[in-house]
């Protein structure tokens, strides 16, 4: 094994493997390892031009003589070795003479270290487990490898981020997370540690991340290399800023993204959607966007309106625009075998291919195949169709659904992309999906770009991606899970996030229990990055099956407008529409900060109050921007809840006007029409 300096990086070389350690922006390092003659050139999400930092590289000669040889008989025997150090600002990597890496902050405190339990290469002492910190194991008959990377576990460590997973814990310490996308699951493998560092697994391969009590372990089933980014700083905000500088930041949120979005499953006709918009505005209610959801098309993959039900989209978009409402149109990446575009896309290699079996990925409402978003030609082809049939009719905002993509089943080993086997790169699918529309809109001169996308990976944010949490259940349990999912998604660098208010699956609008859930969720939605109503609302309308030119048409769910849940609830929902509208200037300033520095508007308590240890344990409330503490009601049938107020500040309860000193837990009133919100310091906002 050799360790040596190569310009601005350190190299650990042994047999055919090489490890590169080098500065990658302020206070940050990138670490790569290959077992091939050349390092794989894919940068994956680390595509941004970062600050050019000069590494401080040095080494120290140490005595590594085996104690066995330190007797008088072997006094002549002596061995030395070099221990190397690479420093970049607030982070230092130390490489032992055996080639294992540990990371320290500027105070000399250990942040994390590789986990290895292997033979000492110089003296006779050894650990017989033979577990390496880094393993690239060849997959027989290929040029590919399975990968494992291991790090020490620390009892005091808390882990936050990693994207969107449907479970109850904000802190991911103790969790095993699948590094794969599914409907309602988005793997975005960046986390912030309570020990003062951020870590990004820059690999879109299928694998796992385990934050165990004995070790932290990352795996990839098939890959070309190990690749990760690690950053150090004095605060979570500093870590987030450095990570977002390397992977990209969201553009400025368009103005229509700051207000209220109306959606249901589904507005079936042009007249139906216009009637809802007209009534909403006639009642004097604010609305910024309304959604034309799925199956408004003739066939999946045609990328155009069905002319019977949507006879004049241009006139529809024009009228909505005059009402101050942006039209959002759903696009699916599924191509029906009967679509007018299927043959050409198949011939040009624009579809995802299976390695075995039938060439269909879904059979819902037709036999369909996903188009290959990693193929530049496929992205351009789909955009050109959408440009002709949607953009030229005035539509500027797209809902890019099924973006995981939602394979049925998720047999990742059976799919192959232009970019490579799905096992190695499938997690970039939603990034490339959004990129296709971002690039197309940019080319047309658009400067305010937003796409609602049902998944994301690192880097999605720079393409104007607004992610929502998928087809979740209508229940308080699901609502609680969405809070941690949203906070962790925002920490993982995807700051534009929303959920289906009231949940998607289920939700009978005549059920009083669902109405309670809907009201609580709607109040919380007013304090989310994007405020958006949606849901299938059972039971679906019972209609006879409809067909147009032999193509079955989809029915719809129950009503889902603010007046659909009873007069008493309407008054509550109306109140929150105006609360959101009154907060628009504040939200706009927060979104500006998001665009400039990567700061998520919705963030855990520790993000702003990291010196208060209790905030690292507080999972059911959050900060909405720097000044508003929001404590959603996440339980059925309650009229109050406890709220922890961080130390070092004075807090004002918006509902009562009562002031509290921080560093204590208080009980906040929460009748059905109130979500507890506290303002920080002397800040005042019109909430109630």
pLDDT at 421: 97
* Catalytic member of 114, 157, 288, 404: 404
- Where do the structural domains in the chain lie, given as residue ranges? 2-247, 255-597, 604-680
599 Cβ neighbours under 8 A, 6+ residues apart: 237, 240, 241, 495, 590, 593
Specify the pairing of strand 80-88 against strand 56-63. antiparallel
409 forms beta bridges with none
Selected catalytic residue, list 471, 508, 617, 619: 471
CA angle 439, 442, 443 (to 5 degrees): 85
Beta bridge pairs of residue 23: 29
Residues 663 and 643: beta-carbon distance below 8 Å: no
Return phi, psi of residue 322, to 5°.
-65, -25
- Evaluated on CA atoms 378, 379, 384, 390, the torsion sign reads positive
Examine the residue annotation and report whether 471 is marked as an active-site residue of this protein. yes
Give the span between the Cα atoms of 628 and 681, in whole angstroms.
10
Single out the residue of 373, 430, 496 nearest to residue 204, CA to CA: 430
pTM of the predicted protein model: 0.96
Structure tokens at 348: 């040009």
Structural class in CATH, domain 604-680: mainly beta
Residues 134, 181: Cα–Cα separation, whole Å: 25
How many whole angstroms separate alpha carbon 673 and alpha carbon 650? 25
Angle at 445 between CA 440 and CA 451, to 5 degrees: 50
CA–CA distance, 602 with 188 (Å, rounded to integer): 17
The answer to whether the CB of 80 falls within 8 A of the CB of 89 is: no
pLDDT score at 320:
98
Angle made by CA atoms 81, 87, 88, in degrees to the nearest 5? 160
Q: Residue 543's pLDDT is what? A: 64
**All residues at 6 or more sequence positions from 186 whose CB lies less than 8 Å from its CB, including other chains:** 163, 164, 404, 430, 455, 456, 457, 467, 489, 494
Q: 182 by DSSP, 3-state: which?
A: strand
Strands 134-138 and 145-152: antiparallel
Q: Which fold has domain 255-597?
A: TIM Barrel (3.20.20)
Distance from C-alpha of 616 to C-alpha of 607, rounded to nearest angstrom: 9
Interacting residues of 15 by C-beta distance below 8 A, sequence separation 6+: none
Q: What's the burial of 154, exposed, middle or buried (CB within 10 Å: 0-12/13-18/19+)?
A: middle
Residues 434/463, Cβ–Cβ less than 8 Å: yes
What tokens does 311 get? 């006879």
* Domain at 2-247, CATH from 2.40.50.140, 3.40.50.1820, 2.60.40.1760, 3.40.50.10140: 2.60.40.1760
Instruction: Say how far apart CA 261 and CA 283 lie, in whole Å.
Output: 16
Q: Is the dihedral of CA 556, 559, 562, 568 positive or negative?
A: negative
Helix segments in 248-332, DSSP class H:
270-282, 313-322
Residue 200 pairs with which residues in a beta bridge?
190, 229
Nearest to 487 by CA among 208, 236, 252: 236
Backbone conformation region of residue 566, classed left if phi is above 0, alpha if psi is from -120 to 50, else beta? left
627: left (phi over 0), alpha (psi -120 to 50) or beta: alpha
Catalytic-residue membership of 401: yes
CA–CA dist 569, 519 (Å, integer): 7
C-alpha 402/C-alpha 332 separation (Å) is: 6
At CB < 8 A and 24+ separation, what contacts does 660-669 make? 663/612, 666/642, 667/640, 667/641, 667/642, 667/643, 668/631, 668/640, 668/641, 668/642, 668/643, 669/639, 669/640
The series of mean pLDDT values per 10 residues for the chain, 688 residues long, is 96 95 98 96 97 97 69 62 96 95 98 87 61 96 97 98 97 98 98 98 98 98 98 98 98 98 95 98 98 95 96 98 98 97 98 90 91 98 98 98 95 97 98 98 98 98 98 98 98 98 95 98 98 92 76 87 98 98 98 98 98 98 98 98 98 97 98 98 88
DSSP letters along 54-67, please? --EEEEEEEE---G
State the catalytic residue, choosing from 22, 144, 401, 608: 401
Concerning whether 404 is annotated as a catalytic residue, the answer is yes
CB atoms within 10 A of CB 363: 10
Count CA atoms closer than 13 A to 648's CA, side-chain side: 9
List of residues 6+ apart from 643 with CB closer than 8 A:
621, 629, 631, 665, 666, 667, 668, 676, 678
Task: Answer whether 2-247 and 604-680 agree in fold.
Answer: yes
């Amino acid at each position: 094994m050799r360790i040596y300096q190569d310009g601005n990086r350190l190299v650990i070389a042994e047999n055919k493997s090489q490890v590169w350690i080098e500065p990658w922006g302020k206070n940050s390092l990138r670490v790569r390892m290959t077992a091939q003659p050349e390092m794989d050139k894919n940068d994956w999400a680390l595509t941004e031009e970062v600050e050019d930092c000069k590494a401080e590289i040095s080494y120290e000669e140490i005595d590594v003589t085996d104690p066995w040889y330190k007797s008088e008989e072997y006094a002549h025997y002596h061995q030395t070795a070099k221990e190397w150090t690479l420093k970049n600002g607030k982070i230092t990597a130390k490489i032992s003479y055996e080639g294992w890496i540990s990371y320290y902050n500027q105070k000399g405190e250990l942040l994390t270290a590789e986990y290895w339990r292997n033979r000492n290469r110089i003296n006779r002492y050894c650990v017989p487990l033979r577990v390496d910190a880094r393993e690239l194991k060849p997959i027989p008959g290929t040029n590919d490898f399975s990968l494992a990377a291991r790090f020490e576990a620390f009892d005091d460590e808390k882990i936050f981020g990693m994207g969107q997973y449907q479970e109850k814990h904000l802190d991911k310490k103790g969790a095993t997370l699948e590094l794969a996308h599914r409907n309602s699951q988005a793997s975005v493998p960046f986390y912030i540690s309570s020990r003062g560092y951020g870590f990004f697994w820059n690999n879109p391969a299928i694998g796992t991340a385990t934050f165990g009590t004995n070790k932290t372990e990352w795996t990839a089933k098939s890959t070309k290399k190990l690749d990760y980014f690690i950053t150090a700083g004095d605060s979570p905000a500093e870590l987030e800023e450095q990570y977002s500088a390397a992977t990209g930041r969201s553009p400025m949120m368009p103005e229509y993204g700051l207000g209220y979005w109306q959606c249901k499953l589904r507005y079936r006709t042009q007249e139906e959607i216009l009637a809802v918009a007209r009534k909403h505005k006639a009642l004097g209610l604010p609305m910024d966007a309304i959604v034309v959801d799925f199956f408004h098309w003739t066939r999946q993959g045609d990328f155009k309106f069905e002319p019977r039900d949507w006879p004049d989209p241009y006139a529809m978009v024009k009228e909505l625009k005059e009402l101050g409402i942006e039209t959002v149109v759903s696009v699916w990446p599924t191509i029906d075998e009967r679509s007018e575009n299927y043959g050409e896309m198949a011939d040009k290699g624009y579809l995802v291919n299976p390695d075995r079996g039938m060439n269909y990925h879904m059979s819902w409402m037709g036999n369909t195949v996903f188009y290959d978003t990693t193929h530049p030609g496929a992205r351009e082809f789909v955009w050109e169709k959408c440009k002709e049939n949607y953009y030229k009719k005035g539509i500027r905002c797209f809902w890019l659904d099924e973006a995981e993509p939602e394979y049925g089943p998720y047999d990742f080993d059976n799919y192959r992309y232009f970019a490579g086997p799905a096992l190695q790169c499938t997690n970039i699918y939603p990034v490339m999906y959004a990129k296709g529309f971002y690039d197309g809109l940019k080319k047309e001169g658009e400067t305010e770009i937003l796409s609602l996308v049902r998944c994301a990976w690192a880097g999605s944010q720079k393409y104007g991606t607004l992610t929502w949490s998928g087809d979740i259940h209508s229940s308080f349990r699901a609502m609680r899970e969405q809070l941690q999912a949203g906070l962790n998604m925002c920490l993982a660098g995807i700051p534009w996030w929303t959920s289906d208010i009231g949940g998607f699956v289920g939700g009978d609008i005549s059920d009083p229990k669902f109405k309670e859930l809907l009201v609580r969720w709607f109040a919380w939605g007013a304090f989310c990055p994007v405020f958006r109503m949606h849901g299938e609302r059972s039971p679906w309308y019972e209609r006879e099956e409809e067909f147009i030119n032999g193509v079955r048409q989809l029915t719809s769910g129950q009503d889902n407008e603010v007046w659909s849940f009873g007069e008493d609830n309407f008054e509550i929902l109306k109140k929150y529409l105006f609360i959101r509208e009154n907060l628009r200037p504040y939200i706009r300033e927060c979104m500006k900060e998001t665009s400039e520095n990567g700061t998520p508007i919705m963030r855990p308590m520790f993000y702003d109050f990291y010196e208060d240890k209790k905030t690292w344990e507080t999972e059911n409330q959050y900060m909405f921007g720097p000044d508003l503490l929001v404590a959603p009601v996440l339980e059925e049938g309650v009229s109050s809840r406890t709220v922890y107020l961080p130390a070092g500040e004075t807090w004002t309860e918006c509902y009562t006007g009562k002031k509290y000193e921080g560093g204590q837990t208080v009980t906040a009133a929460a009748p059905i029409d109130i979500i507890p919100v506290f303002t920080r310091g002397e800040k005042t906002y019109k909430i109630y």
